[in-house]
Amino acid sequence: MQIKNIIEEIERFAPPIYQESYDNSGLLVGDKNAEASGALLSLDCTEAVVDEAIKLKCNLIIAHHPIIFSGLKRLNGTNYVERTVIKAIQNNIAIYAAHTNLDNVKEGVNAKIAEKLGLSGLRILSPKKQLLKKLVTFVPKTHADGVRNALFAVGAGEIGNYENCSFSIEGSGTFKGNMSAKPFIGEKGKLSKEEEIRVEVIFESYKERDVLQNLFANHPYEEVAHDIYLLENTYQNVGSGMIGEFEKPMNETDFLSHVKTTFGPKFVKHTPLLKKSIKKVAFCGGSGSFLIKNAISSGADAYISADIKYHEFFDAEGKILIVDTGHFENEQFTPEIFYELIHKKFATFATYLSKINTNPVNYF
């Protein structure tokens, strides 16, 4: 098995196209065509993690945070980023990162946090727009099912918990081929009027090439009549933060204890207690102060995230209980996502969760 086979599996789950513009997810170091000897999974890739990979004979490290983030101008070992990269290259170890794309997909970082906290009824707190397109095509009746199925096969027609979604309506189309045309029905040089089905499906924009390829391969016309529209709709499967509910409400101190035992820090920082019970919880793995307003307007009782600044705690305005767990703490389970993905597909492949605690923040 090659490194690229593992990467493909991760990218099917968290397409790189869904990373934020400032991010640097992807294969950062190494050759994707190299034979994979084992994968070491971690939140951060540090020198200690590279050492661990060497010891475990893994030539692939998969991390959530990209070790190369804002670029490298030289590579002479003056800082930990350069030393980590140099060590990886010297030891033929590839480094791959799935960062904000893994944050943004519905089953990603936040779903793992929800699983640990015991929250259900999950939805994305701030879903993104303009990620969907619609294909409309006009097909002779005899081929409508075939075309629909071919589009479904590449992921068109998926909406939330539903797949194979489409809309069809009957009508008639006209066309007149010139003398070089090879019409599927009718005769060249003569006006044809044919019964056709208008088939509509939505799809994730990044699948456009596959969708069109399957359309053209299964539509019988020489010139395939089709329109593609960019949709303004929000896409419920991709975006920032998440919201979910506990089965039963709990009081605020029980809630804070629950958060502490789930993520394990010595203490959590929080805004003043509101003397109400907590049932609906918004949360965002990593640095999530940009979502405080969304959390409040969602009607959540509490918002769990990290890297909240002093003045941002004021933004709670007595409307929500903000809890800062620490960045490492709330994202520490993220490597389990990689483990589950790889294990499901390649059950016998050597895959290890890193035992290195990479948290640079200490408590005294």
Residues contributing to the site for Zn ion (CB under 5 A):
286, 331
**Which strands form 321-324's sheet, in the order they lie side by side?**
120-129, 234-250, 278-287, 302-306, 321-324, 269-270
- Residue number of the CB atom closest to Zn ion: 286
Beta bridge partners of 198: 138, 169
Contacts of 270 (CB under 8 A, 6+ apart): 256, 321, 322, 323, 324
In the complex, what is the shortest distance from the CB of residue 24 to Zn ion, in angstroms, rounded to a whole number? 13
Task: Return the residue matching tokens 């489409």.
Answer: 166
Helix (H, G, I), strand (E, B) or coil at 165: coil
Nearer to Zn ion, 113 or 215 (CB): 113
CA dihedral sign of residues 17, 19, 23, 25 = negative
Nearer to Zn ion among residue 202 and residue 284 (C-beta): 284
Residue 68's region, left for phi above 0, alpha for psi from -120 to 50, else beta, is beta
Of 98 and 215, the one with the shorter C-beta distance to Zn ion is: 98
* CA nearest to 359, candidates 23, 85, 43, 39: 43
Closer Cβ to Zn ion, 151 or 259, answer by number: 259
Q: Which is nearer to Zn ion, 221 or 303 (CB)?
A: 303
**241/286 with CB nearer Zn ion:** 286
The answer to whether 196 and 138 are in contact (CB under 8 A) is yes
DSSP 162: B
Q: Which helix (H) or strand (E) holds 242?
A: strand 234-250
Least distance (Å) between residue 41 CB and Zn ion: 15
Measured from the CB of residue 108, what is the shortest distance to Zn ion in angstroms? 12
Cβ at position 327, least distance to Zn ion in Å? 6
Minimum CB separation from Zn ion for residue 98, in Å? 11
| Residue 49 C-beta: closest distance to Zn ion, Å | 15
Nearest-approach distance from CB 100 to Zn ion, in angstroms: 9
For Zn ion, the closer CB: 265 or 286: 286
